[in-house]
Amino acid sequence: MWKLSHYFVKSSLKRNLKEYKSKFAISFIIGIFIATIPHIYNFIENLTNQKLIQEQRKLQVEMKEKICMGNNSDYMKFLNLGFPDTAIKKFNTCMKEQ
């Protein structure tokens, strides 16, 4: 008796698998997609944060350049005196200090 009921269970599983194979596959894919949504959201958020950090660093470098190339800076003084190599060295040291 047990073998007969075991056979019916096996055959019904096979039949259901054949009938609903595409539905199982679609459900599996939807489950994977739903599970990855938080990871995708974190990835996008990290990308935007990285862009903001890069823009902030770029602005800081531009501010340093303005300060180091200003009218009262050593760079301008040596450049106006005709010493471009020394002016570049003074500019580089100014950028490293700040």
What are the residues whose beta carbons fall under 8 Å from the beta carbon of 78, sequence distance 6 or more? Answer: 84, 86, 87, 90
- Domain-by-domain residue ranges, the chain? 2-97
Higher pLDDT, 19 or 30: 30
Higher pLDDT, 40 or 3: 40
Question: Is-above-0.75 flag for pTM?
Answer: no
CA–CA gap between residue 70 and residue 90 (Å, rounded): 12
Banded pLDDT at 1 (limits 50, 70, 90) = very low
In this prediction, residues 22-45 reach a mean pLDDT of 93
CA–CA gap between residue 62 and residue 72 (Å, rounded): 17
The region of weakest confidence among 9-23, 66-80, 83-97 is: 9-23
Banded pLDDT at 25 (limits 50, 70, 90) = confident
Q: Which amino acid is at 3?
A: K
In this prediction, residues 13-33 reach a mean pLDDT of 84
Question: Does 10 have pLDDT greater than 80?
Answer: no
Say how many C-beta atoms besides its own lie within 10 A of residue 57's C-beta: 10
